[in-house]
Amino acid sequence: MTPYKRTPLAAAHRALGARMVEFGGFEMPVQYTSILEEHAAVRERAGLFDVSHMGRIRVCGPRAEAAVERLVTCEVASLRPGAVRYGCLCNESGGTVDDVTVYRIATDDFFFCVNAANVEKDHRWIVEHVAGSGVSIENSSETSGLLALQGPAAEKLLQTQTTLALAGLRRFRFAEGRVDDRTVLVSRTGYTGSDGFEIYCGASDLEALWAGLLEAGAAFGLVPAGLGARDTLRLEAALPLYGHELDDETSPLEAGLDRFVKLDVGGFIGCEAIRARKAAGHVRALAGFILEDPGVARAGYVLSAGGRDVGVVTSGAPSPTLGRSIGLGWLPPALSAKDTAITVRVRARELRARVVETPFVRKVDRAGRAAGRN
Amino acid sequence: MAEYEFPANLKYSAEDEWARSEGDRITVGITDYAQSQLGDIVFVELPEVGRVVEKGEPFGVIESVKAVSDLYAPVAGEIVEVNADLTERPEQVNEDCYGDGWIVVIAVDDENGSSGLLDANGYRQHVERRTKES
């Protein structure tokens, strides 16, 4: 019936009353009960996401470190086994092929967690650029599953299901072990701006893990959460979404990802172009804004300042935590400074907005206290 | 299909508005099906009182976290009242779409203004056809 791919949890999502939508070529749950409720659960307690649509590409072999170093913008030599880092795959023009997390399993064994819509593109890219340099490359996206357990209660909840010592697992570290008696990789990472874990497992273990976590989580106020809440959560944390804030033309520096780009070290594909684009001066910068008038800014809406069209919204949504509408968008660098007054064109009306520093919501600690920044 | 509520005393448009007649005044809102499909309503753009609308004309906009949807006048007439509470509490549309979540009152020229709309059964069939297609 459907032209879209499904994760092994599609039936479980439907049984929970999920509304399914297409995302990245997959049929995925956008919400179970309410995006606002699911968002609040993640900020205050915990939410469980099926993110098995994300891809997983392994690069291993005696020359793997050099190959991965060449592929991603972040430093790899200093990445220890058991650590994970965020970075971008860039093309020779300095545009972004994908934004990824790089996991170092062992000295000579890595994997990339990549965006669902980019799995084939990334795999092709990696094969084209590093195959034959002493590595083997394996696209294990179809055989692996991924759950994200996010929220201040995530640690206590997950600890009831595993012998791994989670309190000692710091942010951007991971460990292999067992959850609910299934072999998994538990990573203290996420895409929500709250504390939490991402749990990599075999595709055949997904259903049991999903059901087991939901059952164990009931006592912690855990709810299943869909891509709708995932999007409002990541936007509050100002985390980029490929296809919105990043694409094949966009340099990661334009998107404000400077600290994930080893510009001084170099040696990665696209480095020279990224340096040259920076030296020439970027014509646009990604900025965060808060709407001061009622309404919602959405991707594609025009941004204006001083009566002139100056940019475009890349992502926008009501922020459930702040109770205001927020957005990210492209602006000329001169207009991207904090407190700059801009307007967002919403159906021929100009709604007032103000540039703010990002993230919009920060310091979401393990006790769930989220502080608005502005 | 989920159990939606479509009160028998209301008339319905194919665009998922309901209409309740009281003389020449017709109160308008969106149906239980529509609010459920939209999800959490976060903003309602209301028309100005005094505006005259044609049947089927977009008169406002309703926005949920993920979706933007036009509101279509189920009848022709003059907007004589708007539910200003929705500016502060748009979630009333989700919580009570046939009550506190009403959107506008339209004054029609004659009391047959709501003819041509569906009754509850007709609208339920209309919804069922669409949910089967999706």
- Interface residue of A4, A28, A34 to substitute, partner B, most B CBs within 10 Å: A34
Beta-carbon separation of A294 and B40 below 8 A: no
CA distances from A342 to A225, A298, A348, B5 (A): 33, 15, 15, 43
In a domain? residue A37 = yes
| Whether pLDDT at A367 is above 90 | no
In a domain? residue A269 = no
Task: Tell me: do A41 and A152 sit in the same domain.
Answer: yes
Q: At what angle do helices A227-236 and A35-44 cross, to 10 degrees?
A: 60
In a domain? residue A267 = no
Task: Tell me: do A148 and A25 sit in the same domain.
Answer: yes
In a domain? residue B5 = no
In a domain? residue B45 = yes
Q: Decide which of A132 and A217 is more confident.
A: A217
A301 lies in which domain range? 283-362
The shortest C-alpha distance from A31 to chain B (Å) reads 9
In a domain? residue B96 = yes
| Whether pLDDT at A241 is above 60 | yes
- Cα torsion for A158, A160, A164, A169, to the nearest 10°? 40
Count how many domains chain A has.
3
In a domain? residue B1 = no
The b-or-e profile of B92-118 (16+ CB within 10 A means b, else e) is bbbeebbeebbbbbbbbeeeebbeebb
Domain stops at, among A100, A129, A158: A129
pLDDT tens-digit map of B17-76: 999 999 899 999 999 999 999 999 999 999 999 999 999 999 999 999 999 999 999 999
- Residue A364's pLDDT band, with cuts at 50, 70 and 90, is low
| Whether pLDDT at A356 is above 60 | yes
- Residue A109's pLDDT band, with cuts at 50, 70 and 90, is very high
Q: What's the confidence (pLDDT) of residue B63?
A: 97
Beta-carbon separation of A296 and B40 below 8 A: no
Q: What's the confidence (pLDDT) of residue A374?
A: 38
- Residue A2's pLDDT band, with cuts at 50, 70 and 90, is low
CA distance between the termini of chain A: 47
Q: What is the mean pLDDT of residues B78-104?
A: 97
Coil, strand or helix: which one is A46? strand
| Whether pLDDT at A65 is above 50 | yes
Beta-carbon separation of B45 and A35 below 8 A: no
Count how many domains chain B has.
1
In a domain? residue B131 = no
Percent of the residues in chain A that have a pLDDT greater than 70, as a whole number? 96
- Residue B134's pLDDT band, with cuts at 50, 70 and 90, is low
In a domain? residue B88 = yes
d(CA A72, CA B98): 55
Task: Tell me: do A33 and A152 sit in the same domain.
Answer: yes
Q: What is the mean pLDDT of chain A?
A: 95
In a domain? residue B108 = yes
Residues of A in contact with B68 (CB under 8 A): 296, 298
Q: What is the mean pLDDT of residues A73-87?
A: 98
In a domain? residue A264 = no
Residues of A in contact with B40 (CB under 8 A): 34-36
Which residues neighbour A99 within 8 Å (Cβ) at sequence distance 6 or greater?
Answer: A86, A87, A88, A89, A115, A240, A242, A246, A252, A257
ipTM metric: 0.89
Q: What's the confidence (pLDDT) of residue A373?
A: 40
The shortest C-alpha distance from A34 to chain B (Å) reads 6
Q: By the CB < 8 Å criterion, does B68 face chain A?
A: yes
Residue B118's CATH number: 2.40.50.100
In a domain? residue A168 = yes
Residues of B in contact with A36 (CB under 8 A): 40, 65
Q: By the CB < 8 Å criterion, does B14 face chain A?
A: no
pLDDT tens-digit map of A151-189: 999 999 999 999 999 999 999 999 999 999 999 999 999
Residues of B in contact with A232 (CB under 8 A): 65
pLDDT tens-digit map of A307-351: 999 999 999 999 999 999 999 999 999 999 999 999 999 998 999
Task: Tell me: do A20 and A160 sit in the same domain.
Answer: yes
In a domain? residue A265 = no
Task: Name which of A51, A68, A320, A341 is nearest A200 in CA terms.
Answer: A51
B100 lies in which domain range? 11-126
Domain stops at, among A236, A266, A294: A236
Task: Tell me: do A299 and A311 sit in the same domain.
Answer: yes
Residues of B in contact with A35 (CB under 8 A): 39-40, 64-66
In a domain? residue A117 = yes
Radius of gyration of chain A (CA): 20
